[in-house]
Amino acid sequence: TLGDDADGSAACVIGEFGPAVLLSRDEPPWRRTFSLAHELFHLVTWQAVRPRWDRDAGPDGPWWYGKLEAQANAFASALLLPAGEGLESARAKVREGKLTGADLAALGLEFGVSLDAIAIRLATLGVISEDDKIRVRTEPVFQAIWRTASQDYWTTPETPFTERYLTLVRAAYQRGEISRGRAAEFLEVPLGELPRFGFEEQYD
């Protein structure tokens, strides 16, 4: 199940209808954002990676899979926290040569990423030391600061479906291609909840 293991919070595929990314709605928004950027790397590079993947892949993927994942994380980090803006925002929050836990949390919320992602990126950019990166990622006090700062930003989508998907289901129903029962099945709701998705009785 998506989200049941360390590598299971997102997935991507290039299929008949084009590229797609699957995200877990149970993840916090900053994790979904990072996962989306991570999967974008795989979509952009897949044509170049695929020949080697087909050649080297075993039951657990190719031996270089870990390196590929590290590159995807580095891409996502640079995309979401560009060096120029990231450094500028970090320096603006420095007081007496220091960044507090609250400053780091504010940076994470500003860029829509987790405290972990902020710590890793700032260490990569040389704003904080490797030791401080480890402290931010492991010491309970920093995690408590992040929980307090981010609690009002945790949102879960009201529906697991995109507006485009809803529009396609509504259009198929309005054209008479599917019944109300089938539409409810596609939307994973009882028949009585269809009106909240814009399905009107008169189309029957």
Our CA dihedral for 152, 156, 162, 163, rounded to 10 degrees, sits at -50
- Average pLDDT of span 19-41: 88
pLDDT, tens digit (0-9, with 9 covering 90-100), for 40-68: 999 999 888 888 888 888 777 788 888 99
pLDDT, tens digit (0-9, with 9 covering 90-100), for 132-173: 999 999 999 999 999 999 988 877 666 677 888 888 998 888
Angle between helical axes of 115-124 and 140-150 (0-180°, round to 10): 120
Give the pLDDT confidence score for residue 4 in this predicted structure: 47
Start-to-end C-alpha separation, the chain: 36
**Helix or strand or coil: residue 97?**
coil
Q: Provide the percentage of residues in the chain whose pLDDT is more than 70.
A: 91
Q: What is the pTM of this model?
A: 0.70
pLDDT, tens digit (0-9, with 9 covering 90-100), for 74-117: 999 999 999 888 888 888 888 777 888 899 999 999 999 999 99
Give the pLDDT confidence score for residue 76 in this predicted structure: 94
Residue 128: CB atoms within 10 A of its CB come to 21
Maximal CA-CA distance, the chain: 69
Residue 7: pLDDT over 70: no
